[in-house]
Amino acid sequence: MQLTAEQLAQFNKDGFIVLRNFLDAKSCDNILRMAQIHLDAKIEPIETEIGYDSRDKEYRTSVTDYSSHAKEEHIIVRRLRQVYKRDALFKAWMENRKIRPVLQQVLDDQVVITTAHHNSIMTKMPFYSTATAWHQDRRYWRYSDDNLVSVWLALDDEYSENGVLEFIPGSHRMKFSAEQFDDKEYFSQIKEENKKIIATKVSTDLHKGDVVLFHSLLLHRANKNSTDKPKISFVYTVKGAKTKAIKGTRSAEFPEIILEKL
């Protein structure tokens, strides 16, 4: 599969694109079933809802221990980390050959999986999940340039009430000052200059098997899950081979998977 010239132009302009019905329902169900086993058993490394918002910039930038070290009996898993090595099903999706030509197009380079960032099963659990504030994923990543793209797979339906992604089109090409972000580098919703930008947000419902590709600098957010059913998604990040992790940072402390050109 490849993007048309119009689709590629749209991705470059907006910073994201939705690929409908990309992965078949059976494959999604198999991934979801395995993810649920790991979630139920709370198999480390995981991130929990408790303390998520209390993490400071230094922690998010430098700490390489992805284990939660949670001691609570009833912890809520926000995401499974380091899924590439967890199970062959997860690895196979991240190395999927059908999507690779598309990734080569949007990166304009050979595709490399970054296991340092994302590489996760993401959850929004009913009753316990929190809203995700406006942010750029790149803010805690340390690379030579910004040529990184995230691959989001909906394992079931996603919509506003259970926390579907919202994006600000074109924000990956905007220049922002540090003052437009708070101390945790979330894009402030109270600053007047930001309100006009946030007003341009868009969201689109996703269905099982839909994939969203989005640029590492694109501003995005999600509501909390207000339904009675968990929302579980799969996200990993790729970069161009010419984009290098900066030595001495968390981005350089985890293996990279170089994928064959197709």
pLDDT for 50 equals 67
Ranges of each domain in the chain: 5-258
Mean pLDDT of the chain, nearest integer: 93
Of 133 and 54, the structure prediction assigns the larger pLDDT to 133
Distance, CA of 2 to CA of 169 (rounded, Å): 22
The residues, any chain, with a CB within 8 Å of residue 55's CB and separated by 6 or more, are 184
Distance, CA of 146 to CA of 108 (rounded, Å): 13
pLDDT for 156 equals 98
Beta bridge partners of 149: 215, 238
Of 49-53, 85-89, 208-212, 232-236, least confident by mean pLDDT is 49-53
Give the whole-number percent of the chain exceeding pLDDT 70. Answer: 91
**Mean pLDDT, range 20-32, rounded to an integer:** 98
pLDDT digits (tens, 9 = 90+) for 211-261: 999 999 999 999 999 999 999 999 999 999 999 999 999 999 999 999 999
pLDDT digits (tens, 9 = 90+) for 61-81: 566 656 655 665 678 889 999
* Domain 5-258: assigned CATH number: 2.60.120.620
Residues 234-250 as b/e (b if ≥16 CB within 10 A, e otherwise) read bbbbbbbeebbbeeebb
pLDDT for 190 equals 93
pLDDT digits (tens, 9 = 90+) for 149-192: 999 999 999 999 999 999 999 999 999 999 999 988 899 999 99
Beta bridge partners of 148: 239
Beta bridge partners of 187: 181
Beta strands, E only, 163-260:
165-167, 202-203, 211-215, 220-222, 231-240, 256-258
**Mean pLDDT, range 194-217, rounded to an integer:** 97
pLDDT for 151 equals 98
